[in-house]
Amino acid sequence: MHFLKQSFIPVPASPSQKALGDCSMLIGGATMYLKPDEPWPTCATCSHPLVPLVQLNASSEATPAASRAFIPTPTPLAENHATMVQLFVCPKELCYCPSVGYSSDTCSWLVRIATVPLILPVDAPHLAEAKTKIERGPGFLPARVVEIWAAGKVETLDRECQGGQHDSDEFYAAHEPEPGLKLFGNTVRGNSSARMKDALDLGVTNFPVHAS
């Protein structure tokens, strides 16, 4: 048994595109898709505005059906609303690092499924203030839009996770998990400090969109 999983690799939209529209995912930026009159979420540890790290559009057909199948009854995109999987994190290092290490003790991150308007209203003063604060603060990531996802490798388990499974070198070379941002596939394992550094450098990690 090889625990093979199909992976999907992001195909970026034009660099000029900053809003999500009918694309699949928004990474970073200062645009947070919220419900009408919803306040900008803040870190429960330090009260800093949370930064939108990943916003996956489950209503868009640009998102693989295998991923959308995990979302209960996503809103049709034609209604100018979208059902999204959203990850917001605190950009401050003392909050961020434990958060991406899956710690729930800091209360410094928020993962949710929400149906929100795709047409953004003119920012209320408190929203404009939060945007300015994160754009000028630590950990700000320029917006990147994933237009669609291309089929990647069919991936086996990482060597460190195989236990009693022993893939041949040839098989493992063909199905070794790829690092970086992807949907599905299998997680790359390794030195935890090295993984954290890569995550901080890239601004993204596998775990927000990697579904096991």
**Residue 29's pLDDT band (boundaries 50, 70, 90)?**
confident
Evaluated on CA atoms 21, 25, 30, 33, the torsion sign reads positive
Interval 155-175 mean pLDDT: 77
Q: What is the pLDDT of residue 100?
A: 55
Q: What is the pLDDT of residue 96?
A: 64
In the predicted model, is pLDDT for residue 71 greater than 60? yes
Q: Which of 70, 44, 43 is nearest to 58 (CA)?
A: 70
Amino acid at 46: C
**Residue 209's pLDDT band (boundaries 50, 70, 90)?**
very low
Percentages of the chain per state (helix, strand, coil), in multiples of 5 = 25, 25, 55
Q: What is the pLDDT of residue 113?
A: 92
More confident call, 212 vs 109: 109
Query: What tokens were used for 79?
Result: 């209604």
pLDDT digits 0-9 by tens, 124-143: 677 788 888 888 877 678 88
Q: What is the pLDDT of residue 129?
A: 82
- HSE-up (13 A, CA, CB side) for residue 93: 5
**Residue 104's pLDDT band (boundaries 50, 70, 90)?**
low
In the predicted model, is pLDDT for residue 99 greater than 60? no
Query: What tokens were used for 38?
Result: 């919803």
Query: What tokens were used for 1?
Result: 């048994």
In the predicted model, is pLDDT for residue 59 greater than 80? yes
Percent of the chain with pLDDT over 90: 15
Q: Taking the model in full, what pTM does it have? A: 0.76
**Residue 72's pLDDT band (boundaries 50, 70, 90)?**
confident
Sort 198 into a burial class: Cβ within 10 Å, 0-12 / 13-18 / 19+. Answer: middle
- DSSP H helical ranges for the chain: 65-68, 93-100, 125-136, 169-175, 192-202
pLDDT digits 0-9 by tens, 175-192: 888 888 888 887 887 644
Q: What is the pLDDT of residue 146?
A: 92
Average pLDDT, the chain: 77
Q: What is the pLDDT of residue 164?
A: 66
